[in-house]
Chain A
């Protein structure tokens, strides 16, 4: 699987949009970009995934650059409950091995 690079931490203000970057410059054509998050002492939670096109669901939006070498997860209106570690993962669609890195620790401040 392609490796990902994420900033170790970031702060954002409650009510503002949080933009979480992820670099995956060695991504191959059949690898998807997935985002999960893990709130302290809980299991990871799936957020969103995409291949080429931008995606949006009730939790977040995923913006993938045209060359697919990087992506941004957008939390449109961050709340205190969005404080968590956010993981960006790339993997082939039918590969069950989901490899988690260190992620980005996001702290939402009032």
Chain B
């Protein structure tokens, strides 16, 4: 257990479904991140939040919608996804957006049918 908890760990959804991924940390960190890891590809940074404000949106399609209601929680809302969106979605946090060290969760494995 790293201190960053992601749920669900596995998710299967159809292309017309709406689902959400949840990330929670109680490390006292002020920055939170979403990364995507597709098979055989490096991790890709998707979104960065610092003190609940989005500071990075890395050209991510609008079918992915992040939400950061407070510094401890981060959501990724999913709708009308494509099969190529199947991947491991990783949440991370750091003390602040300029901090050196990221703490990652175990990830949510998403399969889009």
Contact = CB atoms under 8 A, between A and B. Distances in A.
B100 A43 contact: no
A96 B56 contact: yes
B46 to A, nearest CB: 12
A81 interface: no
Interface in A61-109: 93-103
Q: Categorize the interface residue count of chain B.
A: 20 to 34
Interface stretch (B14-22, B69-77, B86-94): B86-94
A101 B43 CA distance: 8
Nearest to A101: B42
B110 to A, nearest CB: 13
Summarize B's interface: helix, strand, loop or mixed: strand
Given A96-B31, A96-B56, A41 B102 contact: no
A46 B109 contact: no
Contacts of B38: none
Summarize A's interface: helix, strand, loop or mixed: loop
A41, A96, A98, A99: residue with the most chain B Cβ atoms closer than 10 Å: A96
B33 to A, nearest CB: 8
Contact of B103 (A46, A94, A102): A46
20 contacts: A32-B100, A41-B88, A41-B109, A42-B107, A43-B2, A43-B4, A43-B91, A43-B106, A44-B43, A44-B90, A45-B2, A46-B101, A95-B98, A96-B50, A96-B56, A96-B97, A96-B99, A97-B48, A98-B45, A101-B42
